[in-house]
Structure 1
Amino acid sequence: MVPWLGHDDPFPAVERALGAASGAPGLLAASSDLLPSRLLDAYRRGIFPWYSDGQPVLWWSPDPRMILRPDEFKVSPSLRKTLKRVLRDDAWEIRVDDDFRAVMRACAQAPRHGQRGTWITADVIDAYSSLHRAGEAHSIETWFDGERVGGLYGVSLGRMFFGESMFAALTDASKIALAALVAHLRRHGVELIDCQQNTSHLASLGGREIARRAFVAHVRATVNDASIPWRFDKSVLADLVRRQPVDPAA
């Protein structure tokens, strides 16, 4: 049975999450609150919230866990051409934390294949915005001709980044933001991005699954490191275009 967490109850060990034979593999606990303090505690333990409006807050720690190592990010020939165009065309910008809530709202409105509605509710936006104000959540935004056309957001603790959601209003706009994030994290020695759950899109960009035990061990070893800076622009893409080998199969 999935435990119900009262206000002061700690999370159970992640090994108690439901297994693959259950109807909800990775489900660990449920609660009524989404306090920023509980959110931070969850991320530090390799746990994340995911639920629909009208449901209790559901907490997950799947095994295996989908991750993306910045050094394994795949750049297809077409994406490399796009990044080069972004670098040379002044109409393109990468902005960091220009409007965190706006990025979350755009992610909430983005269509998802096989999904109806969104888990990014008003309460979720409020909770993550609290982390953003504390410097623990960030948005990376792709702009074209003065308009936000794509982006992503996530939680940053020490030398660990937990990706949450992306959106694109123009082709490849979310990939451009992700490429900028990857390049920035590589500069600052961040070795792993949490992608939470396996999707074909993430796999095409180099994401892969690792055992939960290895994931949690990495999280515990990195979340208490010194925080990395969160100021960069599109020039960070030059490192990625120059150093990253093209993946012809991507």
Structure 2
Amino acid sequence: MLSSLALVLLVTLAASDAMKDPESLQSEMFPPIHPNCTQSLTDYILLRQEVQLSKMAAAEEVRTQLTRENLQVLTQVRDALSQVSETLTQRNQVNGNSVVETRRTCDPPFTPVGASCLLLSLGQKEDWASARQFCVGKGADLAHFSDAAGYAAILDYINKINSQNDMVDVWLGGTDEALEGTWLWVTGELMPRGTPFWGSSDGYEAAPDGGRSQNCAGLYKRDQYYMHDFRCNGSAAPLCQK
């Protein structure tokens, strides 16, 4: 009898729970977020944003300061250069000097090349001594140079004059007749040795390599106008310089 009453009681309670409002059941299963919790989350987000904005503002201030400092340095450099330029101008005015571009002027048939006047006479093929006399008769001497820049300027001039690319060798004012192996310009200065000045006949042994039989220097057309030692009684065109 007691068991039957207990069973009836359990069924009645279950039925009453099933008849409850669904919203009431949802409220019991998922209780609402406490208002204080929502407010705390909002405050946290706002605080993070405020911190980020503060960092960005500080970084921007640093960049602005660096820009100001760089501008100040550039201004100082500009003012210093202006002062130097003004000082130089005043000195030139006091001394009566003026900055004028100077160019070498050469009387025809000579051509200005660097700081010199050159004349290549392609049709005047003579031995070294006669070629030198030809240049002396023009108020000049056989050409010489002291560095690679001077050599390059001479090569450029020769290639322009010899536009037909004729196989013509060119005499220079260099010789070792006075002392074998000691190559001197007609000015008494030592000639440069090695590359990029002297060439090679066989691609291996560098000129000068002719010994006592070849004592006069010239530009060898077959070796792209590198310097070689020639027989002084050979035939080549004089390159005059003054």
TM-score by length of 2: 0.25
Greater gyration radius? 2
Q: Higher helix fraction: Structure 1 or Structure 2? A: 2
- The structure showing larger relative contact order (alpha-carbon pairs under 8 Å, at least 6 residues apart) is 1
